[in-house]
Amino acid sequence: MQHKTHIELGNELGIYIMPEEVASGMPIFKKNGFIIREELINLMRKFNKQFNYEEVWTPHAFDIKLWKISGHLAKYKEKMFIFKTKEKKYVLKPMNCPGHCLIYRSEIRSYRDLPIRISEFGTVYRNEQSGEITGLVRVRSITQDDGHIFLREDQIEEEVTNILKTAIKIYEIFDMKDYKINLSTRPEKYIGSLTLWDKATEALKLCLDKLSLKYEIKEGEGAFYGPKIDIDVKDALNRYWQLTTIQLDFNLPRRFKLFYIDEKGKQAVPVMIHRAILGSLERFIGILLEHYEGKLPLWLAPEQIRILPISEKYIEYAKDISSKLHNYRVSTDTTNATLDKKILNAWKHKVPYIIIVGNKEQNTKTITVRDRNNNQKNNITIEEFIKILNEEYKKIVL
């Protein structure tokens, strides 16, 4: 059986569009796509809250001098959008990290303050080659579940361990339990000293070894500012996708002259961890659409419940039922179509639950519920149905 691509599913389910008038590789998310994005962001916010991340916002464009300091202009220029206005050059940010360095630098920090964890669901822009752009899985406008941790060297093991454990928990939520771990080392184009690179690489190896995690070394595939751990996760179609990245960076803090006051009252340079767990939200949504064949889990589905009155006589009762489900994303099919046609339309749109109401349900103050697998419960109360919904939501309790 041939599976539909996320491009086909995205169109059928009203997730996103890419009209010709929009810049290539920059999707527009419609209402349903926006809901999915927000639910993923809310999931990550719950995890971030557990580890006291400070959520911030940084602008989409910065003066080009910022990217000279960070090293991106020298090592990453071919993927940057650079523009000029009023004799000044600006860059659409390809990364959030330099902005987060400026936030760290805006205050005096003590060793007692560390680690400082900063998160941003920020959109960055990378000038990928046009031939490589594919639907949502390879785009030029990339919204990351981004995070940067500023810490002391003695805190590296605990922080990297927490990120790895969190990533594995999140994969389980999406029924992705098979994964491969890669450790990528110094590339040909890099910044910083070999001593710092060796130190960072050994620190990541130590974290993986202490957790007894198997990993493959990918020589020369690290970021230009530091080595990294990447996790490739297998989906329901037996394909591996690179999701989580954890990059250990001794270089950017030095380039931005970041420091903290140590226990002896002297200035010391922090270490920086760059981390994203889902990676690009656009890419992850594309992966999920194919992983679930469009049948997203209840908590993530843009439309969770559709109420089908068998005729217009029961529309008012349908509205009453809808009002009792105000905590969920509910619609009511008030068209003149036959019940079979209404059911078919709900299935086509991958709605997790449909509620059928007619004379019997109205008289007994009950509902008939059918799920996407055609399992049906007849004449149950709305309270009983809400219990079923709550049980499904428990699957993502952290």
Three-state SS at 249: strand
Burial class (CB in 10 A: 0-12, 13-18, 19+), 118: buried
Q: Which of 6, 37, 228, 350 is catalytic?
A: 228
For β-strands 123-125 and 88-92, DSSP reports them as unpaired
Tell me the C-alpha distance between 210 and 208, whole Å: 6
Q: Which of 6, 37, 72, 97 is catalytic?
A: 97
* CB-CB contact of 287 with 378 (8 Å): no
Look up 145 and say whether it is catalytic. Answer: no
Look up 362 and say whether it is catalytic. Answer: no
Q: Which of 148, 275, 291, 370 is catalytic?
A: 148
Cα–Cα nearest to 4, from 291, 307, 398: 291
Go through 319-330 and write b for each residue having 16 or more CB atoms within 10 A of its CB, e for each that does not.
Answer: eebbeebeebbb
Look up 228 and say whether it is catalytic. Answer: yes
Q: Which of 274, 291, 306, 342 is catalytic?
A: 274
Q: Which of 100, 126, 275, 350 is catalytic?
A: 126
Cα–Cα nearest to 229, from 269, 196, 276, 281: 276
Q: Which of 100, 117, 144, 304 is catalytic?
A: 144
- Say which residue the tokens 């010391």 belong to: 268
Look up 349 and say whether it is catalytic. Answer: no
Go through 279-311 and write b for each residue having 16 or more CB atoms within 10 A of its CB, e for each that does not.
Answer: bbbbbbbbbbbbbbebebbbbbbbbbbbbbbbe
CB atoms within 10 A of CB 341: 13
Tell me the C-alpha distance between 145 and 368, whole Å: 39
Q: Which two tokens stand for residue 265?
A: 């009252």
Cα–Cα nearest to 163, from 249, 230, 251: 230
Look up 148 and say whether it is catalytic. Answer: yes
Look up 313 and say whether it is catalytic. Answer: no
Burial class (CB in 10 A: 0-12, 13-18, 19+), 98: buried
C-alpha count within 13 angstroms, C-beta hemisphere, residue 237: 15
* CB-CB contact of 224 with 249 (8 Å): no
- Residue 77 DSSP class: G
Look up 348 and say whether it is catalytic. Answer: no
* CB-CB contact of 290 with 237 (8 Å): yes
Please give the positions annotated as active site.
Answer: 97, 126, 144, 146, 148, 228, 274
